[in-house]
Chain A
Amino acid sequence: MSETRKEHELVPPPMPGELEPEPAQPGPEPKPDPGLDPEPALPGPEPEPELAVDPGAAVVDAIAPADEDAPPAAAPASPPEPLFVVSVGMVAWFLAGLVFILLRVGPVLGAPVGGAELVHLSGAWQASIGVDDERYVPTLFQTVASLLLRADDSELPARAFAFLLTATVPAALWRLRPVLGDAGALIALAVLALDGPGILLGSTASAMAADIAVTLWLAVFLLRGWPAWWAPGVVAFKVATGGPLALPLLAGWAAVALWHRTPTEPRQLAAAAVGAALGIAFASARIGLGFDGLVVPPLDLFAAGFDEPWSTATVGDLALVYGIPVLLGGLAALTWELAERAGGEPLDRSRQILIAWAAFAAGWWLAAVGTGQAVPMVALSTPLALLIGPAAAHLLAAMWHADWRWARYLLPAAFAFAGLALAYVVDWARIERVGGTEDKLYVALWSLLMLAALALAGYYREARPTLAAPVFIVGAAMLVLGATGIVTSGREEPLPSPIAPAQARELRDLARETAAGGLIVIHPDFEQDMTWPFRDSGDIVVASRVPPDAAFVIWPPNEPAPEGFGTVQGQWAFRRGVEPPTTGALAYFHWLIDRNTLDIIPEPVAVYSRTGQ
């Protein structure tokens, strides 16, 4: 082993979850903050570790407490410290945060209104004009969205608000460094940044748009302690007026707290109770639309996800399309976490909370696997990202120290063999049928060679961590592909779907223009779809029979044209969906290499105008 490598080994990276020793603080003891969590096992709001340059360390381990790198007192006088120190770690954090934020700009500006956002924007619009609508679920975000819609009928202000809230996620991850480890938190941020369904949820204006930010900040407080005794009240209010994403975290935290019989400070408990009660009261008042029984938005939205068509693709479909790296990575991280602790020290409480959080989210995910929504996917990927981060950091460190002598040749070879095998499969996918025996033999041969190369690369224990490299590369590639599809709002992207096409708004303009004061009549089948594109269009008649004074009619295409009306030419649709690529293995492979292969399924409408107009 080279000397350089040995030098690196002198300062082993901190194990994920381990806290660096507290630097000795000169001067008087700081007064305890009455708002701090009294639990000794929780890290508590200790001082943030300072950043310092450690040019010899790996990028993932670049951040270390300042006292470790500080020169000893007896050392010779060092040159004056620069005014501003930029560490590799800081650069990495800045880039990750920037990527996280930039990836959400695209959907804010360009994603079509669809899925849960379409439902909830419709509800918010109705609420903004004072119409009671069951699609209005009074989360705090939804309430703000309805107020913003009063000022501007576009979805952009509400999305911008969602974006601003979600943009605080990197800061939350930064705050979680003492829990996840510096590199762990950074990798967790990277995973969250590239999580396709998460990108969409955090940058569009569904009632749950604030959920990722709220959940992660809740995680910060639950894992690191509350900044003040009244803070639980504020957060409880926000959770009670938020979506369901925080529920698994709360359940996981409650499970761990109950298990350890953690005493809770009465003031904090009271503040949380008051905050939750106020939140429920706020939601039940439904911004003045009238009290209609107790409304608990997180529970209502949790339940609604099971029944409402928030996505053409099911949770299971979305897992295949966007979630494989996170799901498999999370599973591997969990296994590693438990294996590391097997027979050794018990898991610290923050790790227990993370695992319990993931377990409850997995339960939700499993129960919802056949339902049309994306939220359980995000609910699961969020805690899994926090588990993946530390595990991946550990693996990267191990990779760094691994023996690459053979792997540097064998792994590219394995990639090459995999590529050759994939070439056949891709060809099959294009023609939508499996090739002949010869082709199959070739695929088997290349696959076996790939496996053999991997097996050889990992033959020696010292070289085994190198096998993580292809896993990282493939996982990252899949994540990047998924994120790219969402960010660029591809026409054939399975998420969001169904959407309200721009054409629906054109139809509205045409209707207003053509009706010229006459009645615009829409069939009840399209009543829900019509709300958003036809917003701010005056009174619309929803009727199952064409009234005599109708001027412009939107009707099911399979029903006969109303008498006295002429067809408005064009292929009109209020809604269109995208069939997910999960109908078969070949379709899936085809989509992996060509994201423009999915069927777009419009729900057409027939449009008629009074003859002579």
Chain B
Amino acid sequence: MGPVLAFWATALLIAALALPIAFVLLRRLPDRGAGMSFALGLVLAGYGYFILRVLSVLPAGRGGFVLAVAGLAVAGIATASRDRRFLATLRGSWPALLAVAGLFTLFFFAYVAFRSYVPDISGTEQPMDFMYLNAAITSEEYPPRDPWLAGERASYYYFGYLQVGLLSEVSGVEPATGYNLGLAYTFGAAAAGIASLAFALGRWAMGGRARNWAFAAAGLSLVLLLGIGSLGAVFELAQAHGHENQALFEAMGVDWLLTCEPGQVDDCRPEQVGGSWYPSRYWWWWDHTRLITDTITETPFFSFMLGDLHPHVMSIPLVLLTIGIAASTWRGRTLLDWETHRRQPWTGIALAVIFGALAFENAWDVATFSAVLAIAVVVRNLRRVAPIPALIATAGYLAPIAVVAIAAYLPWGLDFSSQAEGIYAYTGPGTRPPHALLQFGPLVAAAMVALTWGIRRGDGRLIADSLYMTAAVPFVPFTVWFLRAATQGELDAGLDARTLGGWVTLSVFGATAWLLAAAFVASAYRRRGNAPILGLLSTGALLLYGAELFYIRDIFDIAPRLNTVFKLTYQAWLLLAAAGAVAIVVALRGAVRRRQPLGWLAAVPLVLVALGMVYPIAALPSRTDGFANENTSIDGLSALARFDPAEYALTEWIRTETDPSDVVIEATGRRWSKKTNGDLELVEAGVDYGEGGRISARTGRSTPIGWYFHEIQWRGDGEDNQREFVRRQDAVDQLYTAEDPAVVLAVMRDFDARYVVVGRQEQQRYPGLLPDFETFLDIAFDMNGLRVYEMPRYRVVPTS
């Protein structure tokens, strides 16, 4: 429990230190930014650490992280000293501060309790996440190296790992525990952030007297963000209990959930075994994130339940912070132009660090949420001056921020190799409406409900004008899609391939985005407090619409829009969850307090939300095997320690006894055997998602090659890369199968490696092929036959 409390206290401390800065940047929010201060503090301290490490001012190790937090404290005090209202704000914010701290604490410990049943860092891409976390913590040089490609620097957006590393190191928690607590932190910070944002949007939309309704909006936003999943779970649960309606299942596109006919194996579910009330099939909940063909459609709840410490998960608090800043900016009154930076240079710099961090933490987010800020600035400026001057002022305000942001993150950007090859028109069948309903139904319905109060009686002329003004929202993307498809030479194929269902989904998303955009423009024109809700909902719908039209080409040729749908719909989820919750509550309040019959339409999304809660209710016991694990722990390597103590001890020896800059050679993940004629035969080539690079992932020590295809994803699939990565795989395999010690030594010298691991994996991947290392290497570690060999050392040390 000690590490959990230390981590929790550190998170609270960093949030507290960032409060003065939150009071300035998020002054317009009712809680003065307290809910966002977790993300704010961690981003600023993390950036300080990163840039000072790059400049060689901060040393490696825990001390550097502690100094970064001390720097945040000084920055916070400096900000408070310049804020004449700081003390008054602090005194007035105590209830909000306590509420936010309590909410964070509740969600943090709730997640810790859940994760303690499934703490292992294994499966999916968790080893990769662990590898980057360890790299961020242990790297002797900065920008950090890529442990899975010895001698190279990381080419990924790893800022989230650095932040979790900072929390772990400052609190003195081991990385394997810090990994899980990082997830718990993100869960808690996301809860605090969205509640803060939804409360603010609710207060602005409903006025100061509707305080309780704003609390309801905050509560509902928590459910929408962190408490619902795919509606497909309803059908999964029904199937598990033997309630199947074939017609309904087929109509909803989940006929693969029907119980298998005798002899049928694929595209069906076997009969439920065991007596559990929840679906017992192994990882059934996974399938519902692959509902839409050739895509991934995660929900935040799924992400947290799965436990991958991925950039798109870690960025949730930061994204909510940027939305909060945009909302606060929108709420302000003065003109924002380049002169603003002369008066408040530190605010601009802080914004540059925060919005630049979007790219560093999850590159997909930077365009979307910078655009949200830009819209907020434009709308604010339009309230002060005419359109053209407003646009000029906006450009004058945003351009310096963009320039500073680019400069601030240049050390990372120079190493980052984006695999985006451009925006292409998606010419596939599109998303079937039932799938869209199952995946996004509650959120899109919530967005549509906003139209019941977003378009008011008496606004007819204004709405008509707004619809005209915002016609670009659906039509420009569609026109661009048309032209792009034509230039791709796929127009005919695209028109043919898209099914009727695909067109219906596209139209619904497009129409929703358009209507919401029109309502937003009308509302903003009237200077109504509900405008930000409509703007955020419109942006969310537009992201769903865009994901049906375009994709960013990367190396996933087989499923070209996989990542685009995944990342854009995830962003849409965040926007729609925050604003959608408020939309529902505002509609309900209209129905209850003002007898607006259309407000009762809010029941529709509420019912869908209730159905969406079936997913977590049914999936959590499945994920934890009925919470049956008696060896609960928050250490991500506890299962390894329990089931394979020698392998665990070997890992810990390398982590604690070797230098962070040492190179360790371990199995690539390829499996070899010896044919009867003595030749070697590659019997298993796949290396990703397996145990290849496991030691490196668990310790942060570099190894010649880890997950081959992931390196391709990060660095591109050019011939040079492929050749180099295969060369490394071959060299490592040669080392483990060499008959001549000279080959082993040559490979070790090639990668400047000091250690060779012969653990469980090496014994399995090179059965009977391992050289007699001990005849020419030193045994540095030995336990139950698992060994670490070390290059013999001989050097003359002068002492006088």
Contact = CB atoms under 8 A, between A and B. Distances in A.
Contacts of B61: 303-304, 306-307
Q: Which of A129, A306, A527, A545 has the most CB of B within 10 A?
A: A306
Contact of B78 (A258, A538, A541): A258
Given A363-B70, A544-B792, A539 B797 contact: yes
Contacts of B64: 299, 303
Interface stretch (A60-68, A337-345, A528-536, A568-576): A528-536
A12 B161 CA distance: 60
B794 A545 contact: yes
A513 to B, nearest CB: 16
A370 interface: yes
A306 B62 contact: yes
Contacts of B74: 251, 254-255, 258
A540 interface: yes
Contact of B56 (A131, A293, A367, A545): A293
B81 interface: yes
A294 B795 contact: no
Contacts of A538: 798-800
A542 B795 contact: yes
A258 B78 CA distance: 5
A258 B81 contact: yes
Interface string B77-95: 1101110000000000000
Contacts of B790: 544
A259 B81 contact: yes
A131 B798 contact: yes
Interface string B44-69: 00000000000111111111101101
A527 B797 contact: yes
A485 interface: no
Contacts of A536: 799-800
B123 interface: no
B796 interface: yes
A348 interface: no
A261 to B, nearest CB: 5
B793 interface: yes
B296 to A, nearest CB: 39
B81 A304 contact: no
Contacts of B172: 367, 369-371
A540 B799 contact: yes
Nearest to A256: B77
Contact of B793 (A306, A371, A542): A542
A246 to B, nearest CB: 13
A539 B57 contact: no
B64 to A, nearest CB: 5
B778 interface: yes
B800 A535 contact: yes
B57 A255 contact: no
Interface majority SS (helix, strand, loop, mixed), chain B: mixed
A511 B787 CA distance: 33
Nearest to B9: A366
Contacts of A367: 62, 66, 170, 172
Interface residues of A, number: 46
Given A258-B78, A260-B81, A300 B800 contact: no
Interface in B14-66: 55-64, 66
A406 interface: no
B799 A531 contact: yes
A545 B59 contact: no
B799 A539 contact: yes
Interface string B773-800: 0000010000000000010111111111
A527 B798 CA distance: 12
A541 B67 contact: no
A540 B796 contact: yes
B223 interface: no
A251 B70 contact: yes
Contacts of A260: 81
A524 interface: yes
A543 interface: yes
B73 interface: yes
Interface string A278-318: 00000000000000011010011011111100000000000
Contacts of B57: 294, 296, 299
A305 B797 contact: no
Contacts of B82: 261
A305 B56 contact: no
A542 B798 CA distance: 10
A537 interface: yes
A258 B77 contact: yes
Interface in A308-352: none
Contact of A300 (B59, B77, B78, B792): B59
Contacts of A540: 796-799
Nearest to A543: B794
Nearest to B171: A367
B797 A307 contact: no
Contact of B799 (A299, A304, A537, A543): A537
B63 A306 contact: yes
A547 interface: yes
Contacts of A608: none
A607 B768 CA distance: 38
A360 interface: yes
Interface in A353-386: 360, 363-364, 367-371
A544 B794 contact: yes
Contact of A299 (B67, B73, B796): B67
Given A535-B799, A544-B792, A303 B55 contact: no
Contacts of A539: 796-799
B77 A255 contact: yes
Nearest to A370: B172
Interface string B472-484: 0000000000000
B792 A305 contact: no
B797 A542 contact: yes
Contact of B60 (A302, A303, A541): A303
A129 B62 contact: no
A294 B59 CA distance: 10
Nearest to A534: B799
A294 B793 contact: no
A545 B799 contact: no
Given A294-B57, A367-B172, A542-B793, A129 B800 contact: yes
A236 to B, nearest CB: 16
B793 A543 contact: yes
Contact of B70 (A131, A360, A531): A360
B190 to A, nearest CB: 26
Contacts of B80: 259
B79 to A, nearest CB: 9
A340 B66 CA distance: 32
B773 to A, nearest CB: 14
A348 B788 CA distance: 61
A338 B732 CA distance: 64
Nearest to A360: B70
B552 to A, nearest CB: 39
A374 B64 CA distance: 18
Contacts of A261: 81-82
Given A258-B81, A534-B799, A544-B793, 17 more contacts: A125-B799, A251-B70, A251-B73, A296-B57, A302-B63, A302-B67, A303-B60, A303-B61, A363-B66, A367-B170, A368-B66, A535-B799, A543-B792, A543-B794, A544-B794, A545-B792, A547-B794
17 contacts: A259-B77, A259-B81, A294-B56, A302-B63, A303-B58, A304-B63, A363-B69, A363-B70, A369-B172, A527-B797, A531-B799, A537-B799, A538-B800, A542-B793, A542-B795, A542-B797, A544-B793
Interface of B: 55-64, 66-67, 69-70, 73-74, 77-78, 80-82, 170, 172, 778, 790, 792-800
- Of all A-B residue pairs in the complex, the 8 with the closest CB atoms, nearest first, are A303-B63, A303-B59, A306-B62, A294-B56, A258-B78, A536-B800, A543-B794, A255-B77
